[in-house]
Structure 1
């Protein structure tokens, strides 16, 4: 099962757009909903009105489940909906009931968040498997969203779990970010062991990067800020690359850091 939720856990709609991409690109069947009252504050997650063939309909916040056929041997049960405002434990138990009905053996939760990172580098990814971070430097302490709780309860119930998060440049605002969705999809491909179709996303991600380049070039202050983010990102990556290379490499890093700080005086 792959789960993504609108709201706090979905910067730039990057996580939920993974599920929307899968739904639009693969044979699928909508197989269930969580839509009972009690989960949502309707002043926060408001009902929507739409007119279909002259008939007015009111659409209430709800979670949908899709049976997506990836190939003859693999189906994904995709969960998509707004993060509930209330009764998180009961909501997660209902979600896991669907997983049990469809003989799910592993659960993947997706999330995205804003961070100080440049668009000119691969966006930072955080992955945890069965509750353990794959990168010890990425240990998180702080507020959590519904994906964190679903991951924790699924693990308690004996499921294999993977949580995949991507960070987006906060200076770009809340517009959709195809690059982040693409990276989440690529990581999901690794988890399930099947290369998922990403052609449309690859084109959209390239257009997104071009748009970001133009925006940064037209703003001198923003360009300077992105230069600083690039340097900080490269230094962190450089440090990771040489931490296991022995004392001479560590000494080299110290010298480079001292030289950089001298240049800033």
Structure 2
């Protein structure tokens, strides 16, 4: 089979809870399941992984009979096009035995011969809704844009990245920051930007469906909230000024770095003088 015709499979995982501000990351998975034909191929059962007082079972009625739905992580297979397949994992962040949980996730990736594992996350931050939301890409467990790396509490996506990297997988993690002043309502803009970054990372177009419209509605609702609250409007204006100033300062800082690199390079290329 030619390289062009070979199927490329990537696992994409997102988890409810601490890693999922405003459901922005898990809604990427839900969106993909809605716009593409998908098949549930398995799950990681909840027993031993979940505290059922934190992630409670749900009672539903199916054909007149009561049924208890226990927390678990579901695994889906989605074919994007003739050469790209996604293995999607979604569920609550487990409470216990994270290493074992991640090993089971990686086992599903092995079974489907996934070439890479990408985790998605969302966090609250001081950022204005009137500007593109900040996106961070991480390779393995280190931010590409942060040489110091993250120090502090972590969630299950970081553990999955680390263990998958140890097993030889190419791993990436995409995180979006969402405005903390807007509360916990769903953030369609964050979901849209995660989807767009995932699309660029995979090198394949992912159907955005209704997300652009929902993102525009999210911005309009946020704008209405500001019009009713002068203190909040002033706070957002200060955030806007910080973001805009950072964008002005960044090119200048990059130019200084380039000048320093050019200078050091020129010094290194100089041969010994005649007086030496």
Question: What is the TM-score normalised by the length of structure 1?
Answer: 0.91
Correspondence list, 1:193-212, <5 A? 193-212=203-222
2:64 aligned with 1:54: yes
Q: Distance in 1 between matches of 2:129 and 2:147?
A: 21
For the residue of structure 2 that corresponds to 1:118, the secondary structure is coil
1:172 equivalenced with 2:197 (yes/no): no
| Correspondence list, 1:89-104, <5 A | 89-104=99-114
Please say if residues 46 and 71 of structure 2, whose CA atoms lie closer than 8 Å, have aligned partners that are also in contact: no
Q: Tell me, which stretches of 5 or more residues in structure 1 are unaligned?
A: 248-265
- Say which is worse superposed, 52-61 or 232-241, in terms of deviation: 232-241
Task: Return the offset for 1:233.
Answer: 1.4
Larger radius of gyration: 2
> After superposition, what is the alpha-carbon deviation per residue over 1:214-238, rounded to whole angstroms, capped at 9, x for unaligned?
1111100000000011111112222
The Cα shift of 1:140 comes to: 2.0
Aligned residues of 2:41 and 2:77 also touching (Cα < 8 A): yes
Q: How far is the alpha carbon of 1:138 from its aligned partner?
A: 8.0
Which SS does the other structure have where 1:32 is aligned?
Answer: strand
Matching residue of 2:82: 72
Structure 2-normalised TM-score?
0.87
* Contact kept in structure 2, 1:126 and 1:138, CA below 8 Å: no
- SS in structure 2 opposite 1:152? helix
Structure-2 separation of matches of 1:195 and 1:103: 22
Offset of residue 55 of structure 1? 1.2
* Residues 9-18 or 192-201, more deviating: 192-201
SS in 2 for 1:244: helix
CA distance in 2, matches of 1:193, 1:51: 42
**Structure 1 runs of 4+ with >4 Å offset:** none
Q: Which residue of 2 aligns with 1:133?
A: 143
**How many aligned residue pairs are there?**
248
Do residues 182 (structure 1) and 192 (structure 2) align? yes
Unaligned runs of 5+ in 2: 1-10, 258-276
State the match for 1:7 in structure 2: 17
SS at structure 2 position matched to 1:110: strand
Counterparts of 2:148 and 2:86 in 1: how far apart (Å)? 28
Are 2:28 and 2:191, in contact at CA under 8 Å, matched by a contact in 1? yes
Q: Which residue of 1 aligns with 2:96?
A: 86
2: CA distance between counterparts of 1:73 and 1:138? Answer: 37
